[in-house]
Structures are given as structure tokens and as C-alpha cells.
Amino acid sequence: MIELLFLLLPVAAAYGYIMGKNNANNEAQQQNQEIINEYSKGLKFLLDREEDQGLEHLIGLLEISANSVEHYLTLATLFRRRGELDRAIKVHELLLKHDGLSLEQKKHVLYELAQDYMMAGLLDRAEENLVYLHSLKDSNALCQLMLLYLQSHDWDKGIALFQSHEPDFNTSQLKKTIANFYCEKAIQDKDLKHLDIVTELTQDLVRPKYMLGENAYNDGDFLQAIKYWGSLLDKNIAFAPIFLDRLAVSYEKLNLQDNYFSHLSKHLKSDSVLIKIHYCKSLMAQGKVDEARNYITQVLRKQPNIRGFSYLLMLMSEQSQDIKTVLTEINNLVQDYIATKSLYQCNHCGFTSKKMYWFCPSCKHVESLVPLSGVDGF
């Protein structure tokens, strides 16, 4: 709570200086002294560790004057970070009652209040503020409004907003966000026609091609699955772990194993150990056991990786019957270790997960959660 004390000391000092400098008559000086006394009283509560009483007293001073708007905005932000949403809301709502706020100050307060409401689950109130701010061309309101619709899974409202204000969706993140809304709508309606709009919005997204490939795979249309997932492998190799096993099956179902081997060969210079493991599997299928073992050994010397090591142990156990039991037991321990690790990490905020999310649960960025790389990754 001591941080609040240092936050509010400048408020009291500012009042003393400004009021003392600009008001020479006795009445103004008396008002100045009363305000300083009230602040001093609130600060004393904090010093005496009577935190609730001190905070309520200081918040109450908003009804006297709002000349230090920024200080109170900072105070409200601190409340929100501490999870004291009722106090954050109270500060922001009291600020809005003052006629002296400039338009920019009012917009700032409304935006912060909308964030309070969202965190408190009061989504209707948050939406009302954000829609109003968007009508005033507030640059942050649209992004926050889309986050609100994401939080409420209201894909229809997000899409309707896009259709009525398409020129405003002019950033990469907004385009990716609305494109993923269409993906969610396609799942909700079980209608992949919604994805046609997505391809017109942006060519950079992984999810639409992944969904189209998955749908084709589930329908037994393996040629189409190869088309979509093969394209992802070429353009977004970091996401290969979410579809590579099924891509291999698709080639196998069509007796196109040689084509798969050729496709993999194009990406052996990438950092993906999983690609190299699949390459070894293709070598094994061709009966090139020693070549597969030697290749993965060379890879691991340059690029240590736990999954690659596990695969090498498996190869060695198949070729060394005398120590197969020991190697299998070691590999089981390695697999147990792998099972404890996260599989995906957000490249924006660092959030990790064992589950794939198209929207990061932490920072809400789109397609920022990617399969892990490095020693414990893919």
C-alpha cells in the first residue's frame, strides 16, 4: 500500500502550490487549506495502515475537485491491477461526473472504465462504452471491442462490426482477428463457405488452410489434404507439428510415399527436428536403416533435441536386441520427461500451454501460439 502513498503525495503538493499561487483572496486560501487538510487526513490513514478507510476518503475527494485527473487514473489502474475492480470502477465513474474534463480526458476515462467492466464480467456496459468510443474514432476502441466479442464468443457481432466498418480493420492484427472470427463461425455453422471470405482478407493465416486440410482429411479426400497442409508446410513450417503426422498418412493412403520423401527433403535445412525425424522414418520405410540412424545422430550432434534423442533410442533398440530392454526403459523415461513439458508458446507474451489455441489465452494475439522449438521442442 506504500506505493499509493507516493502516488498521492504529488496530488496534495500540487493542490497546495496551484491554489496558493493563483488565489490570493482569503476564501480561496481557506478552500486550499481545507483540501490539503483532507488529503493529509487520507494520507494519515494510509500511514496508520488503515488502508480501506484511507482509500475511501481519498476517493471521496473526487467530489470536491478533479484537477488531478491523471493521478486518479493512475490510482484506478493500480486498483484494477490489484483486482479491486469495484474501487477502480468507482474512481472512473466519479471522474465522468465532472464537467471540467476535456473530450480526450473523457475518452480516456471511458476506455479505462470499459476495461474495468470487462474484467468484472459486465460485458454489456463495456460494449456500450466501446461502441460510443469507436463512433468517436478512438483508435483503441475497435481492438478492445473485438476482444470483448472474443471473450463472449459473439462471432456474429464481430463479423457485423467488420461488415459495417471494414475500412477500420486496417492493421494486420485486426485482419487476423476478424479472419479467425470467420473460422469460428465456420465451425459454429458447420459451413466452410465462411472461409472463402477469409482468403480474401489475408493470405498469411495458418488456421483457414489447416481447417480446410483437416476437413478434407476427415472426408477421405487426401489429395486436397495434401494440397492445403503441403502449402502450410512450405509457408508456415513452424506449425508443422499440428498436421505433419496426418500429412504423412495422406501421402501413404495415395501410395505417394516417394512424393512425401521429396517434399520433406526440401525442408531439411530448417530448424525443425520433427521434419528430420519424419525424413528418417521415410528412410526406414525404404529399408535404409543405417542411413536413418547415422543421419539422426549427425543432426543431434549439431542440434540437441529430446524428441530426436527419443527417436534415436527407438532405432537403436530395434537394432540391438541384447540391450533392447534397457534402451526401451531409458526411452520410456525420456517420454515421461517429454510429457511434463509444454508444447506451445506465445511468441508475443511467452504464455505456454500443452494445448493449441488460435487466440493466446493470455495476450489474445491471433496465431501467436506456436509449437515449441529448441531442446525440448519440435
Mean pLDDT of the chain: 85
250 contact partners, CB below 8 Å, separation of at least 6: 217, 222, 223, 225, 226, 229
Which of residues 34 and 167 earns the better pLDDT score? Answer: 167
Count of CB atoms situated within 10 Å of the CB of 331 = 18
> Which residue would you say has higher pLDDT here, 318 or 219?
219
Distance, in Å, from the CA atom of 200 to the CA atom of 291, rounded to the nearest integer, reads 45
Q: What is the pLDDT of residue 93?
A: 87
Is pLDDT at 61 greater than 50 in this prediction? yes
Other Cβ atoms less than 10 A from the Cβ of 91: the count is 25
Q: What are the C-alpha distances in Å from 139 to residues 88, 134, 178, 369?
A: 23, 7, 17, 26
- The span from the CA of 83 to the CA of 209, in Å, is 40
In this prediction, residue 39 carries a pLDDT of: 56
Higher-scoring residue by pLDDT: 46, 134: 134
Percent of the chain with pLDDT over 90: 62
Q: Which residue has the higher pLDDT, 6 or 338?
A: 338
pLDDT at 24: 47
Q: What is the CA radius of gyration of the chain?
A: 30
Give pLDDT tens digits for 225-249: 999 999 999 999 999 999 999 999 9
Return the C-alpha cell found at 45.
490513514
* pLDDT for residue 346: 96
User: In this predicted structure, what is the pLDDT of residue 2?
Assistant: 47
User: Which residues, in sequence order, are CB contacts of 118 under 8 Å at separation 6+?
Assistant: 126, 144, 147, 148, 151
Considering only CA atoms, which of 288, 298, 224, 223 is closest in space to residue 268?
A: 298
Looking up cell 473485438 gives 146
Contact 276, 308 (CB under 8 A): yes
**Three-state secondary-structure class, residue 226:** helix
Contacts of 239 (CB under 8 A, 6+ apart): 206, 210, 232, 370, 371
Sequence-distant (6+) residues with CB within 8 A of 206 are 232, 236, 239, 367
Q: Which residue has the higher pLDDT, 84 or 307?
A: 307
Measuring CA to CA, how many Å separate 112 from each of 74, 77, 104, 139?
10, 8, 12, 14
Question: Which residues lie below 8 Å from residue 67, measured CB to CB, with a gap of 6+?
Answer: 14, 15, 18, 100
Task: Summarize pLDDT for 256-297 with one digit per residue, the tens.
Answer: 999 999 999 999 999 999 999 999 999 999 999 999 999 999
Q: What does each C-alpha distance from 126 to 115, 116, 120, 143 come to in angstroms?
A: 7, 8, 10, 13
> Is 229 within 8 Å of 210 (Cβ atoms)?
yes
In percent, the amount of the chain with pLDDT more than 70 equals 82
Q: Which residue has the higher pLDDT, 95 or 219?
A: 219
User: Which of the residue ranges 52-61, 293-302, 357-366 would you say has the lowest mean pLDDT?
Assistant: 52-61
What pLDDT score was predicted for residue 320?
Answer: 75
